[in-house]
Amino acid sequence: MVLNRRKAFKYSNTHNTRISKTSRTEIYPETQAFIARAVLFGNASQHFLAFTLHRGQSSISDMLKSIQERAEAGGFNL
């Protein structure tokens, strides 16, 4: 008795690359320094920098909070 079977799929030829569903990217140290200087010295607002750099305002606020905590822990005066 002969069975009629389907041919196996060639997954490797039709496989699409996976696209990441998150838009998270690293904020480089140079950009962090620019943001910290602009906001802490009063030259720019967090909202303006978030709009200009295509970041969330909350991520800029969290980054500034961590920079201030590290500066206080290290004994630096901002």
Q: Is 55 part of any domain?
A: yes
The domain of 69 spans: 27-73
- Measure Cα distances from 30 to 13, 68, 75 in Å: 42, 16, 21
Q: Is 64 part of any domain?
A: yes
Give the per-residue pLDDT at 2: 64
Q: Is 19 part of any domain?
A: no
- Quote the CA–CA distance of 74 and 72 in Å, as a whole number: 5
Give the per-residue pLDDT at 64: 92
Rounded to two decimals, what is the model's pTM? 0.63
Q: Is 50 part of any domain?
A: yes
pLDDT band at 21 (very low <50, low <70, confident <90, very high): confident
Q: What is the DSSP letter of 42?
A: T
Average pLDDT in the 37-46 region? Answer: 91
Give the per-residue pLDDT at 1: 61
Q: Is 68 part of any domain?
A: yes
Say how many domains are in the chain. Answer: 1
Query: What percentage of the chain exceeds 70 in pLDDT?
Result: 86
